[in-house]
Amino acid sequence: MKHTYHIHGMTCNGCRNHVEKTLKTVDGVTSAAVDLEKMEATIEMNRHIEINTFQRALEKERGNYSIHLPGEHLHHSKKDDKMKPKGKGTGTFYCPMHCEGDKTHDKAGDCPVCGMDLVEEQSLKTSSVGGKWTCPMHPEVVKDEPGSCPICGMDLVPMEPDLSAEEKTYRKLLKKFWIAVAFTLPIFLIAMSEMVPNNPLYKLFGQKYWNWAQFILSIPVVFYATWMFFERAYRSIKTWNLNMFTLIGIGAGVAWIFSIVGMFLPDVFPEQFKTEHGTVHVYFEAATVILTLVLLGQLLEARAHSKTNSAVKELLKLAPNKAVKVVDGDEFEVSIDAIEIGDILKVKPGDKIPVDGAITEGYGTIDESMITGEPIPVNKTEGDKVSSGTINGNQSFLMQAEKVGSDTLLSQIITMVNDASRSRAPIQKLADTVSAYFVPIVVLIAVVTFVVWAIWGPEPAYVYALVNAIAVLIIACPCALGLATPMSVMVGVGKGAQNGVLIKNAEALEKMDKVDTLIVDKTGTITEGKPTVEKVGSFSQDLNENDILEMIVALNSNSEHPLAEATVVYGKEKGAKAKKAEQFIAVTGKGVEGTVNGKLLALGNPKLMEYANAVVSDSMKMEAKEYQQQGKTVSYLSADGKVVGYVVIGDKIKKTSAKAIKELQNKGVAVIMLTGDNHETAKAVANELNLADFKASMLPEDKLREVERLQSDGKVVAMAGDGINDAPALAKSDVGIAMGTGTDVAIESAAITLVKGDLHGIVKARNLSDAVMKNIRQNLFFALIYNTLGVPVAAGVLYPAFGILLSPMIAALAMSFSSVSVIANALRLKQIKI
């Protein structure tokens, strides 16, 4: 029998191999082939097997995979719907080396591929525990305000968040480490006493009994403090996901088991393994010191890991727990979770803004540095937008909630940082390729080392062979290689978020370093994106300027374009009568059409006039040209195929645009401006910015074709834009950069989002990318050099010339600190200036 099933939850080849091997172990299965791209498994069986049997097998192997019949609707499992544990994290865990891509786990543990401790993602979802009250006798009672327990009457106490998963892991490792040290230190002293002339310990007991003492003291170290290393080693061999713990398990395990056999069956060993007292050399001190030092490395890594995502933790601290809600003039303090869209909130001086919204009454000076990276406070008045987590200055104001919970900018930033931190950079493929062959090669080198020393080594040859083979297994560190890229990416993405540069994935961070051509849109990117109407003119004797304005306002009331909003605001200021437009159509890159009072109106650029069969005369063009040469935008209005008026709209160039463009050009990046505006307006803006390369009257498809043309010429293209018309080019470019002030479509299409929305953010993104890629290359170089030099030295290549051998204990120390040093180097990115 042969059936095809859908597999849910696979993200990488490691997942595919794991699922395939698991399905093959099910009784009755003759063969199983898993296709990662199609997310399908084709299973051959000698009898019918229920799908639940396969599901149980997948769950038994600790994988978050599910199997379904083709076309079956995927429901969330009960496991997915469970409440996440309370704490500072989300209850979502991932591997710091990203062995499984962006796959996550719903409980703490270790990675099924590399064996490392899983790291908990940080999020706003559970950060609002503060501000709640609970009963010390009945913890199930949780209230939003102080009072008494409804069950026992005791006063409620402030509810403290639970320890985060990473803190629990650290404390557990710390406890095990001190236990390991307490038992390893005596073993080490007993073993080293053999080097003391007339060993005083032998006057108390013979060496045989001291060997037994070492054995008894080693049991808590092996079977409690570091037993997890052997579990991980066994699981890695069982699933054939060979990793660092495979080598540690084999190396330390061989030393410990060899010592046991030597104690119980000394006669099976040749004389060269024995001491002058007739006992076999034991290596309990080597095994326990190796395991304790590896545990120390894991402890230091756990502490260092907690610092790599410190940027997210700092962002989490911005989220307030309480807000002041105003209802019919009365003020109430409410939990942040109780705020709904449309609520009126009061923000007092010095308070954090609770949710995203707009000021409805009053004004304030807002410190947005924690989100935009810009230190200068921003003045906000009625109608202006404010963001959650930013800090109010010295005035009180009322605001209306517009986005709450996971929809706020702060929450979206945290989500984006978490997602980007888990993504894999293309440069990581090098580490993945090396890691795939690393462990088998190291084991082979250890075997060769043993054989060479056993045949050609000095006496006792077998002792030298065993010790050097163990040193080779212990010193090799695939984790340093695996951590090289993700640690730098995590710290770099967090650094970007603190400076208003949001990276969607690690690939964008890597590609930004290679960008040699930047395409920028004009409106909202180079300019403020806050256009104002400077003049409304009429070309018709039958219509005055107010008539033209009313037609323009009627059409643009249905449009979301910044230019349209400017005309509507101007119309209200001038008291223009509101008329209704019917059959409204937005013609992308050209303008808008609609019917007002039975007349077919069209408002837009010359291309729209052609589309509407309305002729723009030379005199009209000359009148428009005067404004266009000043950098203004002129839109024509036609009625029933005849051009009847125009509107002149100005949009100031951002103060940072000229400086940012110059800095990018100094870095060797060619800057090209593409705009849908006319040639004269584009030329005026380009001249002011010293831009030699620009193209005007560009439709969305023209911008897309220009990106494709540059890419075909071998250019690495970044595109910066803010509108719907920029979305195709943003998606096609090597790195799409969206202005945070732009449309959702543009932001969704981009790989990098600039919160503040000016070109200086692109300079920050480029500097960040350069720093992160340099850091990654340093990490990879260190990891490769460490292993390239460390393994041969441990094998004894320096012994013939210099008489130098590496103790397995020194090898364990070096291996532990190699991973820690990679993380420490990545943490240096926190100090860079971008």
Quick check: 310 pLDDT over 70?
no
Higher local confidence (pLDDT), 279 or 404: 404
User: Rounded to whole angstroms, what are the CA distances from 84 to 88, 106, 107, 170?
Assistant: 11, 8, 9, 20
Q: What is the pLDDT of residue 139?
A: 73
* Banded pLDDT at 774 (limits 50, 70, 90): very high
Write out the two tokens for 19.
């699922």
Write out the two tokens for 375.
């230190």
How many CA atoms are closer than 13 Å to the CA of 634, on its beta-carbon side?
25
* Banded pLDDT at 793 (limits 50, 70, 90): very high
**What is the pLDDT averaged over residues 188-195?**
79
* Poorest-pLDDT segment among 284-298, 717-731, 736-750: 736-750
- The per-residue pLDDT of the chain, averaged, comes to 82
DSSP code per residue over 20-53? HHHHHTSTTEEEEEEETTTTEEEEEESS---HHH
Spatial contact of 576 and 549, defined as CB atoms under 8 Å apart: yes
Quick check: 622 pLDDT over 80?
yes
For 607-616, how does the pLDDT look when each residue is reduced to its tens digit (9 = 90+)? 899 988 999 8
DSSP code per residue over 670-729? EEEEE-SS-HHHHHHHHHHTT---EE-S--HHHHHHHHHHHHHTT--EEEEE-SGGGHHH
Quick check: 668 pLDDT over 60?
yes
Q: Which of 521, 547, 651, 734 is catalytic?
A: 521
**What is the pLDDT averaged over residues 122-134?**
57
Quick check: 386 pLDDT over 50?
yes
Q: What is the pLDDT of residue 751?
A: 83
* Banded pLDDT at 79 (limits 50, 70, 90): very low
**What is the pLDDT averaged over residues 680-695?**
86
Using a 10 angstrom Cβ sphere, with 0-12 exposed, 13-18 middle and 19 or more buried, the burial of residue 379 is: exposed
* Banded pLDDT at 742 (limits 50, 70, 90): low
Tell me the backbone φ, ψ of residue 649, rounded to 5 degrees.
-125, 130
Q: What is the pLDDT of residue 643?
A: 92
* Banded pLDDT at 102 (limits 50, 70, 90): low
* Banded pLDDT at 80 (limits 50, 70, 90): very low
Q: What is the pLDDT of residue 83?
A: 33
Residues contacting residue 312 through CB under 8 Å, at least 6 positions apart: 122, 414, 417, 418, 421, 494, 497
For 394-417, how does the pLDDT look when each residue is reduced to its tens digit (9 = 90+)? 889 999 999 888 888 888 777 777
Report the distance separating Cα 764 and Cα 783, nearest Å: 28
Quick check: 37 pLDDT over 90?
no
Tell me the backbone φ, ψ of residue 69, rounded to 5 degrees.
-70, 150
* Banded pLDDT at 222 (limits 50, 70, 90): very high
User: Rounded to whole angstroms, what are the CA distances from 491 to 426, 513, 659, 834?
Assistant: 17, 16, 28, 13
Q: What is the pLDDT of residue 629?
A: 84
Tell me the backbone φ, ψ of residue 601, rounded to 5 degrees.
-105, 150
Spatial contact of 512 and 493, defined as CB atoms under 8 Å apart: no
Q: For this structure, is 521 an active site residue?
A: yes
Summary count for the chain: helices (H), strands (E): 28, 31
Provide the 8-state DSSP code for 82.
Answer: S
* Banded pLDDT at 122 (limits 50, 70, 90): low
Closest to 247 (Cα-Cα) out of 257, 234, 233:
233
At position 668, the amino acid (one-letter code) is: G
Report the distance separating Cα 554 and Cα 576, nearest Å: 9
For 537-564, how does the pLDDT look when each residue is reduced to its tens digit (9 = 90+)? 999 888 899 999 999 999 888 887 777 8
* Poorest-pLDDT segment among 47-51, 353-357, 444-448: 47-51
Quick check: 63 pLDDT over 70?
no
Q: What is the pLDDT of residue 558?
A: 82
Return the H-helix or E-strand segment holding 121.
strand 119-122
Spatial contact of 148 and 154, defined as CB atoms under 8 Å apart: yes
Residue count of the chain, please give it: 834
Quick check: 85 pLDDT over 70?
no
* Poorest-pLDDT segment among 82-96, 462-476, 486-500, 728-742: 82-96
